[in-house]
Amino acid sequence: MENNRFSLEITVFHGRKAPETGILVGYGALIEAYDLKVPLPDVLSLISFKNRKYSSGQWQVFTSRHLPGDTLYKQLVFALKYEGINLLVLKKLFQKLSESEIIQLLQEEPTGQYSRRLWFLYEWLFSRKLFIDDLQIGNYVSLVDEKIQYGLGNGTKSSRHRIVNNLPGIPGFCPLIRKTEKLEAYIKSNLSEQKAGLVHNMRKDILQRASAFLLLNDSKASFSIEGESPKSKRAARWGQAISQAGLHDLSIAELIRLQQIVIENGRFVDMGFRKKGGFVGEHDRTTGEPIPDHISARWQDLESLIDGLVGACELLNNNAIDAVLAASSIAFGFVFIHPFEDGNGRIHRYLIHHVLARKKFSQQGIIFPVSASILDRIVDYQKVLELYSKPLLDFIEWEETNDHNVKVLNETADFYKYFDATLQAEFLYDCVNDTIQRIIPNEVAYLAKYDEFKLFIENEFEMPDKLVALLVLFLEQNNGKLSKRVRGKEFEKLTNTEAEMIEDAYREIFVQ
Please give the order of strands across the beta sheet that includes 156-158: 141-142, 163-165, 156-158
Q: 406-423 pLDDT, tens per residue? A: 999 999 999 999 999 999
Dist CA 120 CA 472 (whole Å): 64
Average pLDDT over residues 8-24: 93
Q: Which residues contact 337 (CB under 8 A, 6 or more apart)?
A: 296, 297, 302, 305, 306, 309, 416
Q: Compute the distance between CA of residue 188 and CA of residue 149 in angstroms, rounded to an integer.
A: 16
Using 50, 70 and 90 to split pLDDT, how confident is the model at 212? low
- Amino acid (1-letter code) at residue 351: L
pLDDT at residue 222 in the model? 65
Q: What is the pLDDT of residue 202?
A: 60
Percent pLDDT > 70 in the chain is: 87
What is the residue-averaged pLDDT of the chain? 88
Q: According to the model, what pLDDT value does residue 349 have? A: 87
> From CA 197, how far away is CA 436, in angstroms rounded?
10
Instruction: Match domain 190-264+272-434 to its CATH number in 3.60.20.10, 1.10.3290.10, 3.30.450.20, 3.20.20.10.
Output: 1.10.3290.10
Most confident option among 1-5, 81-85, 220-224, 253-257: 81-85
Question: Angle, nearest 10°, between helix axes 323-337 and 344-358?
Answer: 160
CA 231, chain centre distance (Å): 28
Q: What is the pLDDT of residue 196?
A: 59
- The mean pLDDT value for 361-367 works out to 61
- Read off the pLDDT of each residue in 473-491 and give the average, rounded to a whole number: 86
When pLDDT is cut at 50, 70 and 90, the band that residue 255 belongs to is very high
Query: What is the Cα–Cα distance from 104 to 4, expressed in whole angstroms?
Result: 20
Confidence label for 190 from pLDDT (cuts 50, 70 and 90): confident
CA distance 58 to 45: 9
**pLDDT by residue (tens digit) across 334-344?**
999 999 988 88
CA-nearest of 484, 463, 474 to 506 is 474
> What average pLDDT does range 225-243 have in this prediction?
68
> What's the pLDDT band for 1 if we cut at 50, 70, 90?
very low
Cβ proximity of 141 and 158 under 8 Å: no
Output the pLDDT for position 2: 43
pLDDT of residue 197: 58
Q: Which residue has the higher pLDDT, 334 or 357?
A: 334
Q: What's this model's pTM, rounded to 2 decimal places?
A: 0.88
β pairing state of 163-165 and 156-158: antiparallel
- Reported for 476-480, long-range contacts at CB under 8 A and 24+ positions apart, including other chains, are 480/506, 480/507, 480/510, 480/511
442 with 468: CB under 8 angstroms? no
Contact present, 333 and 173 (Cβ < 8 Å): yes
- Whether 6 shows a pLDDT value over 50: the answer reads yes
| Residue range 67-81: mean pLDDT, rounded | 95
Per residue in 141-163, pLDDT (tens digit) is: 999 999 999 999 989 999 999 99
Confidence of residue 370 (pLDDT cuts 50, 70, 90): confident
Q: Which residue has the higher pLDDT, 222 or 45?
A: 45
Q: Is the pLDDT of residue 82 over 90?
A: yes
How does residue 214 score in pLDDT terms, banded at 50, 70 and 90?
low
